[in-house]
Amino acid sequence: MSSRKNYLIIGLSGVTCGGKSTLAAKLAAHFPPGAVTLAGLDNYFWVDDLSRLDYLPQIDHYDFDKIESLDIERYYADVQAIIERFTRNPHLSARDQILILDGFLLFNEPRLLALCTLKYDFSLPYEVAKRRRETRVYEPPDVPGYFDQVAWPAYLKHSAEIKALRTEHGIVTLDGTEDAEVIFQRVLTDVENALKERFLITIAVHFVPTAGTDHHGTAQMPPNYLIIGLSGVTCGGKSTLAAKLAAHFPAGVVTILLQDRYFWADKGRMDYLTAIGHHDYEQVKCVDFDRYLGDALKVIDRFTRNPHLSARDQILILDGFLLFNEPRLLALCRLKYDFSLPYNVAKSRREARFYLHPDKPGYFDQAVWPAYLKHSAEIAALRTEGIVTLDGTEEAEKIFRSVLKDVENLLTGC
């Protein structure tokens, strides 16, 4: 029996705003949906117990750049849980099970460093790191002086600590000033080479679409996965709910597919709004739904190849403002939630939100809101078929608890 692992772990560390998360996202997008699990160390700060953090009175802020500011034990435990989950899938290969650890102090924790097969450490000059940091949104936000007095000195200290480990542990330094695509292609080559060293295991695919009876009248088991659909008004709370659900369940259980990643790159497929000088991204034809559905089916196929796992272990969340206007995607969802907001709330949230391609003045009133009303009216008749309307003005935790109760009730029967 081979002792080779049927998974691959990649570690990304280094300077703030160096490109870690960008590279992680590019790798996740390159492989089939569900193949890559991301574990970000930034989600493990002691935010619920600030007494564990050093308070810096000179800048009236807590120090988030020490290793003591992180719940490393919980992070390590969650990573081990993902690895254990991978090992329970002996019929899958490392190409199907890639874990990316992303954290600015990752390699300063020996246990995490030891887990990584591929290790990349990002570097940036002071001026570039500071400029990028100042344009980035943080919660809580940096206070004046934090970068110079805390973030940069901490980076230099932590970088010096792992200097002696670079050769011994094969840590590759990446220049964060290089084009993100160049960095991605370089790392992808390493990843592909590492995957070739793993044994590939092929299995027959067994698909169980729904519970019920087959054409012989024989009872079928319910599917060993759960699909949740989140749709509705812009800035209603879809992604917040998806993130809360993903955080509630063990790491690696929830896969999220965002409709926003499936807009057609070919702008010729979209209407151009000459009055505001902007393309209209709010219509069904703007989304490559065939590709979105194809990726969703790949995730489902992946789930069905894990017969020893249950729906509690395999949850897919489809998140998209036009999700229920595509009948094929609507039909996949066991639980369906449609967010609503009053006009003034939706507009104020939209205007306060950061977009990679910012809205032009007038876009909300001339495109976003009219399209929402149109699409909402189109699915009005479908609400009796199990689409639950959620009031996006309610507190996010209250919405989460309500939906979680539905999820748990359904999982109890699976």
Is residue 140 packed enough to be buried (19+ CB in 10 Å), middle (13-18) or exposed (0-12)? exposed
Q: Is the pLDDT of residue 238 over 80?
A: yes
**Could you check whether 8-204 and 213-412 share the same CATH topology?**
yes
Output the pLDDT for position 223.
Answer: 80
Residue 109: both structure tokens together? 């924790």
The set of catalytic residues is: 42
**Please, which pLDDT band fits residue 126 given cuts at 50, 70 and 90?**
very high
| Contacts of 283 by beta carbon, 8 Å cutoff, 6+ apart | 270, 271, 371
Mind spelling out the 3-state secondary structure of 260-278? HHHECCCHHHCCEECCCCE
**Please, which pLDDT band fits residue 355 given cuts at 50, 70 and 90?**
low
Residue with tokens 């070919």: 266
Output the pLDDT for position 47.
Answer: 81
Q: Is the pLDDT of residue 144 over 60?
A: yes
Distance CA 42, CA 53 (A): 15
DSSP conformational letter for 143: P
Distance CA 134, CA 144 (A): 10
Output the pLDDT for position 138.
Answer: 67
Output the pLDDT for position 76.
Answer: 94
- DSSP string across 38-62: EEEGGGGB-TT-GGGSPEETTTTEE
The least confident of 99-113, 146-160, 347-361 is: 347-361
Specify the amino acid at residue 252: G
What are the extents of the domains in the chain? 8-204, 213-412
Its pTM stands at 0.56
CATH of 8-204, one of 2.30.30.280, 3.10.129.10, 3.40.50.300, 3.30.590.10: 3.40.50.300
Output the pLDDT for position 195.
Answer: 87
Which helix (H) or strand (E) covers residue 172, if one does? Answer: strand 171-175
Q: Is the pLDDT of residue 210 over 50?
A: no
- Pick from 92-96, 176-180, 358-362 the range whose average pLDDT is largest: 176-180
The least confident of 261-275, 314-328, 332-346 is: 261-275
Output the pLDDT for position 206.
Answer: 30
Output the pLDDT for position 219.
Answer: 38
Mind spelling out the 3-state secondary structure of 181-246? HHHHHHHHHHHHHHHHCCCCCCCCCCCCCCCEECCCCCEECCCCCEEEEEEECCCCCHHHHHHHHH
Q: Buried (b) or exposed (e) across 338-371, using 16+ Cβ within 10 A? A: bbbbeeeebbebbeeeeeeeebeeebbebbbbeb
Distance CA 101, CA 20 (A): 10
Output the pLDDT for position 209.
Answer: 37
Mean pLDDT of 93-113: 93
Closest to 348 measured CA to CA, from 364, 361, 372: 364
pLDDT tens per residue across span 14-38: 999 999 999 999 999 899 888 999 9
Q: Is the pLDDT of residue 214 over 50?
A: no
Mean pLDDT of 51-80: 92
Output the pLDDT for position 90.
Answer: 75
Q: Does residue 169 or residue 258 have the better pLDDT?
A: 258
**Please, which pLDDT band fits residue 182 given cuts at 50, 70 and 90?**
very high
- Percent of the chain at pLDDT > 90 equals 58
**Please, which pLDDT band fits residue 389 given cuts at 50, 70 and 90?**
very high
Q: Is the pLDDT of residue 205 over 80?
A: no
- Mean pLDDT score of the chain, rounded to an integer? 87
Distance CA 99, CA 37 (A): 5
- Domain spanning 213-412: CATH 3.10.20.30: no
Q: Is the pLDDT of residue 198 over 80?
A: no
Q: Is the pLDDT of residue 211 over 60?
A: no
Would you say 18 and 25 are in contact if contact means Cβ atoms under 8 Å apart? no
Distance CA 110, CA 150 (A): 23
Q: Is the pLDDT of residue 208 over 70?
A: no
